[in-house]
Amino acid sequence: MPKEWDVFISHASEDKDDFVRPLAQALAQLGVKVWYDEFTLVVGDSLSRSIDRGLTASTYGIVIISPSFIEKKWPERELRGLVAREIEEEQKVILPIWLGVTKDQVLEFSPPLADTIAIRTEGMSAEEISLGLLKTIRPDIYKEHDRAELETMVNGEALKYLQDELENVKYELSEYRCPHCQAPLTERIEVEPEPDIGGGGLVEDFECGYSLIDGAPRSLCPCDPEYPKLEEYEFVKVAQPVENGGFYGVEMRPLTARAKNLRFQIEYAATEEEARQRLTSRYERRARPWRG
């Protein structure tokens, strides 16, 4: 049955900052699924239950044997769990790493571990050790990439390259998005100038209502801080043309300079109040932010 994690890291807390954390991060960057307390535990987890689950749900167990590890009881408990699995499953589970210890120290602590081929950390970085472990932990990843590619992955350069590419794509796509709310471009057309009047140009319309002509705003986005408020208009009753059958007409007249950038047609209704309500509803629909 497939395991939830590729590897469990058993270590003493004193070794976390200088060695264990860089090793866990290097393995993760190579695509290894690592059970490591900083990656896996969340607030409210029972430490003992989570570690027990990590021990049983990981294919391998990396054991960082250091002077601090040898002195502590908690890592020794984890080691016993890995040894029990190795005996029961009759296959290699424990991958020992000797961190600042001699063979005599390991032999005194655990004779079986002293006989197990281990990685010694002298003169090696966590990144180099992670590449050595990868061949055993995830041979599929190891075979899929050449050494140069693996070194790029473990140093985080591959992730940085992808992040840079993503930023470039975002930049290239930015012209197709409203700069205020990221609403997509819906139409881009070239409008011919009218005889004796001129005008025309490249018109770009966005889903939020934002619109440009030759790069200059002709209609504002509701998320633009310069979008006028309803209070920046006054409702004014206007005379009714005969063809409107005596209906009341009401218009919204701008009170501020920026309100002049957002115009509304006169609204006609059976009553003045109804015409005002229709204009208010029209404003609220246009002022509603784009939600995607």
Q: Which residues are catalytic?
A: 78
90 in helix, strand or coil?
A: coil
Residue matched to tokens 């140069």? 148
Taking the chain, what is the end-to-end CA distance rounded to the nearest angstrom? 42
Q: What angle do CA 242, 246, 247 make, to 5 degrees?
A: 115
User: Rg (Cα) of the chain, in Å, rounded?
Assistant: 34
Checking DSSP bridges between strand 119-120 and strand 248-254, what pairing results, if any?
unpaired
> Do strands 248-254 and 233-238 pair parallel, antiparallel, or not at all (unpaired)?
antiparallel
Letter for the amino acid at 89?
E
Q: Kindly give the pairing relationship between strand 185-191 and strand 94-98.
A: unpaired
What are the counts of helices (DSSP H) followed by strands (DSSP E) for the chain? 12, 12
How many Å separate Cα 127 from the centre of its chain? 25
Token representation of residue 260: 């002049």
